[in-house]
């Protein structure tokens, strides 16, 4: 048997028709994980009980022969794969004939459509800027931008770590949200600073985790619902956060050294106070070793 069958990441199975019934001859590990069934259990099943082609208006036999028709250009059929948890997963099937001596078998390749379908459904009800699929190691597997002010083609971001696009001081925060979503199996909202092409953006995002049929984690969908550029001349709170980070100054220590209340410092740092009083600005800037106008351009001498 071709070793590639076992190594490829796409869920695959080999089926054959013997006299009066279809049977599963073999599956790769990706298919076992996706379906949630052990390989030893799958071998005993009729493949039509795992792959339902009814929504395509075809019997399993008709679907296999249509998919494996060599005269048809790259045929595809969308149908349902029934997992061990009885949750049907949207998949797109393709198929190739496989000669095993004097017998003909069929290699069925399943493309998981759940993430794409979820994104499509979300778009129907919300405006989004960017959608991406992020794997367990936080690498971007797919990215598509819709109305976002991103100049580079999406392909440039594929196989990059999502953290390459997140401002340094936000990376720990977003990783915690990813982990929370994964462990609790819930969609989570987050706002953070995103970096595209050396420009920083304020981003609002939704993180949705996805799982295999054996309940193991598969990947995340990350959707940016809001994205706008941060102009450093217009975003003093961002410059203040960067200065505090670079000088390792916490909100608490800055409040103690300047005798400004912790609440006021926090509001200035979070952008809730856009222009503090001059004395407040001078005390903060002086403690950070810069002039007030370095942070707040409106304070010009």
Residue finishing a domain among 59, 94, 112: 112
- Mean per-residue pLDDT of the chain: 88
Q: Is residue 288 part of a domain?
A: yes
Domain of 277: which CATH number? 1.10.260.40
Q: Is residue 148 part of a domain?
A: yes
Count CA atoms closer than 13 A to 5's CA, side-chain side. Answer: 16
**91 closest CA partner among 82, 99, 100:** 82
Residues 170 and 257 reside in one and the same domain: no
Please report the pLDDT score of residue 297 as a whole number.
77
Residues 220 and 120 reside in one and the same domain: yes
Burial class of residue 28 (count of CB atoms within 10 Å of its CB; 0-12, 13-18, 19+): buried
Average pLDDT over residues 259-277: 90
Structural tokens at position 78: 């969308």
Residues 119 and 24 reside in one and the same domain: no
Q: Is residue 301 part of a domain?
A: no
Residues 27 and 64 reside in one and the same domain: yes
Of 87-96, 104-113, 142-151, 176-185, the least confident: 142-151
Residues 183 and 90 reside in one and the same domain: no
Please report the pLDDT score of residue 19 as a whole number.
79
Residues 168 and 254 reside in one and the same domain: no
Report d(CA 90, CA 78) in Å as an integer: 7
Q: Is residue 300 part of a domain?
A: no
Average pLDDT over residues 88-99: 92
Report d(CA 68, CA 60) in Å as an integer: 12
Helix or strand (DSSP H, E) at 130? strand 130-135
Residue 228 confidence class, pLDDT cut points 50, 70, 90: confident
Q: Is residue 202 part of a domain?
A: yes
Domain count, the chain: 3
Host domain of residue 240: 236-295
Residues 191 and 100 reside in one and the same domain: no
Residue 174 confidence class, pLDDT cut points 50, 70, 90: very high
Give pTM, 2 decimals: 0.73
Residues 106 and 128 reside in one and the same domain: no
Q: Is residue 168 part of a domain?
A: yes
């Amino acid at each position: 048997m071709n070793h590639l069958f076992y190594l490829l990441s796409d869920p695959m199975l080999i089926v054959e028709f013997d006299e009066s019934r279809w049977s599963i001859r073999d599956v790769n590990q990706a298919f076992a994980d996706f379906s949630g069934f052990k390989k030893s259990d799958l071998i005993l099943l009729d493949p039509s009980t795992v792959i339902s082609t009814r929504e395509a208006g075809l019997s399993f036999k008709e679907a296999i022969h249509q998919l494996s028709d060599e005269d048809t250009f790259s045929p595809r059929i969308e149908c349902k794969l029934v997992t061990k948890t009885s949750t049907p997963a949207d998949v797109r099937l393709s198929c190739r004939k496989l000669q095993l001596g004097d017998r003909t078998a069929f290699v069925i390749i399943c493309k998981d459509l759940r993430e794409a379908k979820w994104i499509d459904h979300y778009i129907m009800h919300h405006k989004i800027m960017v959608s991406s699929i992020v794997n367990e190691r936080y690498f971007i597997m797919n990215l598509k931008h819709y109305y976002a002010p991103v100049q580079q083609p999406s392909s440039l971001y594929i196989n990059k770590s999502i953290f390459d696009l997140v401002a340094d001081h936000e990376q720990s925060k977003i990783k915690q949200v990813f982990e929370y979503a994964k462990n609790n199996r819930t969609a989570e909202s987050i706002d953070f600073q995103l970096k595209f092409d050396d420009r920083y953006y304020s981003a609002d995002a939704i993180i949705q985790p996805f799982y295999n049929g054996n309940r193991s984690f598969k990947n995340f969908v990350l959707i940016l619902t809001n994205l706008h550029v941060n102009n450093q001349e217009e975003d003093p709170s961002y410059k203040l956060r960067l200065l505090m980070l670079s000088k390792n100054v916490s909100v608490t220590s800055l409040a103690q050294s300047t005798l400004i209340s912790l609440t006021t410092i926090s509001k200035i740092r979070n952008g809730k106070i856009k222009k503090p009083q001059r004395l407040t600005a001078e005390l903060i800037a002086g403690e950070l070793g810069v002039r007030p106008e370095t942070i707040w351009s409106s304070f010009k001498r």
